[in-house]
Amino acid sequence: MTQDEHRQSVLTKAIQYRYIIECKNKSVELEVEDRDVFRNADDEIDCPLDVVLRKNDYSFNDLMNWDAREIQFVKLVDEEIIVINRVSLNVNL
C-alpha cells in the first residue's frame, strides 16, 4: 500500500448498510445495495425491506418460516454496527 492509498483509506470510512433479522433459532444478515438506501419524507435513512429480501432471494414467507422476532436496519461504519431502525415482530395470530 502506497502512502497516498493509506492516507485515503484512513480519511474515508467504509459505510455499508444491512438488515439483520433475529429469529427464534438463528440470525440472518441481508446485504443492502447503496442504491436502495434513501432519505424518506422525515429525512431519515431508509431502505425497503421487500426490495432487500427479493434481491437476496427471500420473501416475507421466509420471515415467517424463520420465526423472525426482530428486524434491524443497521449502518456499518468500519465494522461498528449502528442501529438505524428496529422493528419488533411480536405478532399474535
47 pLDDT more than 60: yes
**Do the Cβ atoms of 93 and 46 come closer than 8 Å?**
no
For residues 21 and 79, give the distance between their C-alpha atoms in angstroms, rounded to a whole number. Answer: 18
The residue-averaged pLDDT of 29-47 equals 95
Does residue 7 or residue 38 have the better pLDDT? Answer: 38
Residue 3, pLDDT score: 54
Residue 2, pLDDT score: 53
Residue 78, pLDDT score: 86
Q: Does residue 62 sit in helix, strand or coil?
A: helix
